[in-house]
Chain A
Amino acid sequence: MINYTENIRKISGDLLKSGKVDVVIGYKKGTLPGINEPFLARTPEDAQKLVWDSQCRLNLANYLTNRKENVGIVAKGCDSRNIATHIIEHRVTREQVTVIGVPCTGMTDKNKLRELAGGEITALTEKDGIITVTSRHGEKTVEKQDLLQSNCANCLHRNPVINDIPCADPVPEINTARNDAEIKAIEAMSPADKWAFFEDLLSTCTRCYACKNACPLCYCPTCFVDESRPQWVGKGDDPIDVRTYHTLRAFHCAGRCTDCGACEAACPMNIKVRLLTGKMEKSCFERYGWEAGLNTEVRPALDTFTLHDPEEFIK
């Protein structure tokens, strides 16, 4: 990880110095231990603040939307797939973007970290796949592998799909097939149980919209939640409004979501919103063999069709 950071700083510094890009989107150390924050480096000096470790949970493609200048962007596997999606959807052009590819070994789950620490984390260090967290209960050391976010543990594309300047050699992929165990368990429930399951899952949602703000796919000038004529969904935290919001959010991500996990990482209530987007990705994969963002040529699942798409449910 140390050399990732050094390589990112060097590559970004060179890019900014040469004038090839006007800004590099990356991470810098956050104000709290265990969370890095997105950072836009505009000068070679700024570039020295960039870092990389296992606390870079957000998706930097989010900061790429509608940029006019030339941009360098630090991207792990999922970020790069969202960059591809952005290019397909004309949010940026391919020529504008220089991807500094980071072969990713996964991000730590913020909740597992907190649980491990047993309270507020006061310091966190990471070296060679070993993470040490310090809290008032003392120091605890654990292998990073045991702290991974679930989407990272089930990741299928750890290496960036667009990779202009690789910052390290590719890492081996750890999975070969989707792991849908959680979603299949819900599918097996009765309709009433399903409804109750999600009622419970979403019961703590405060509609803060952190999930949609963290999501690189959510860039409409006016979101459906803000539309008033007609008003599709109420503003408050009524369970039905919450459910409507999450349903439509998941649908809007269908065929575009790369399962980067930024929504869950951003959720202050730790709601597993990925269950809904995950269901859509599972359907897209099973029915259309579609995985989002693997290249910049093919249109996403809902923006294309074949003459013989499955339609067993249509009368």
Chain B
Amino acid sequence: MTEFEPKIITFLCNWCSYGAADLAGVSRFQYPPNMRVIRVPCSGRISPKMVLAALRKGVDGIWVSGCHPGDCHYIEGNYYARRKFTLLKELLEFQGIEPGRIHFSWISSAEGVKFAQVANEVISEVKKLGPAKHFIKCAPKEIAAA
């Protein structure tokens, strides 16, 4: 069997982290192609429903990234997001989601290097955990057999 390649849903805020992803791209910084990017207007736009929906669809990891605190395009969206993420992460981990599956970061549009570096970190951590088994309604055959 080939090595496990995780699928990771990445929510990037339009103003900072998406720009950082762009910068990482044009600067040719390398990171593995395990991410599927969803662009959102602001990290404050992320609802726990979206994170759960992604888990239910069978992704192995989630990464949410937005502007640094104080740099939000909408002035304070990421401050609210920070509290939301804190509670969401604690609630999911309380129920048995492994701590390494859910990641958050602040990356400005000038930090292409940090973007590639965090992407590498996230992907390797999720890879270590193996395929996600929780929150998936119809478990794939190989997981059911394991």
Give chain A's interface residues, CB within 8 Å of chain B. 183, 186-187, 191-198, 224, 230, 232, 234, 238, 240-241, 243-244, 247-248, 250-251, 254-255, 276, 279-280, 283-284, 287-288, 301-303, 305, 307, 309-311, 313-315
Contact = CB atoms under 8 A, between A and B. Distances in A.
Contact of B94 (A240, A279, A288): A279
Given A186-B94, A187-B94, A251-B88, A315 B49 contact: no
Nearest to A196: B96
A191 B100 CA distance: 11
A191 B53 contact: no
Nearest to A230: B53
B118 A315 contact: yes
Contacts of A315: 103-106, 118, 121
B94 to A, nearest CB: 5
B137 A241 contact: yes
B33 interface: no
Nearest to B66: A314
Contact of A240 (B88, B118, B136): B136
A276 B118 contact: no
Contact of B86 (A196, A197, A238, A310): A310
Contacts of A234: 137
Nearest to A193: B96
A227 B68 CA distance: 33
B137 to A, nearest CB: 5
A68 to B, nearest CB: 31
Contacts of B93: 191, 194
Nearest to B105: A315
11 contacts: A192-B96, A197-B96, A230-B53, A244-B56, A247-B91, A279-B94, A280-B87, A283-B90, A309-B86, A314-B106, A315-B118
* Top 5 closest pairs, chain A to chain B, by CB: A195-B96, A194-B96, A315-B105, A305-B79, A314-B104
A229 to B, nearest CB: 12
Contacts of B52: 232, 244, 247-248
Contacts of B80: 302-303, 305
B31 interface: no
Contacts of A251: 48, 87-88, 91
A288 B87 CA distance: 11
A250 B91 contact: yes
A284 B95 contact: no
Contacts of A243: 95, 135
A194 B91 contact: no
Chain B CB within 10 A, most for which of A192, A283, A301, A310: A283
B91 A311 contact: no
Contacts of A276: 91, 94-95
A284 B95 CA distance: 17
B49 A302 contact: no
Contact of A314 (B84, B85, B88): B85
A241 B55 CA distance: 12
B110 to A, nearest CB: 16
Nearest to A238: B137
Interface in B65-117: 69-70, 76, 79-80, 82-99, 103-106
B95 A194 contact: yes
Nearest to A240: B137
Nearest to A275: B94
Contacts of A247: 48, 52, 91-92, 95
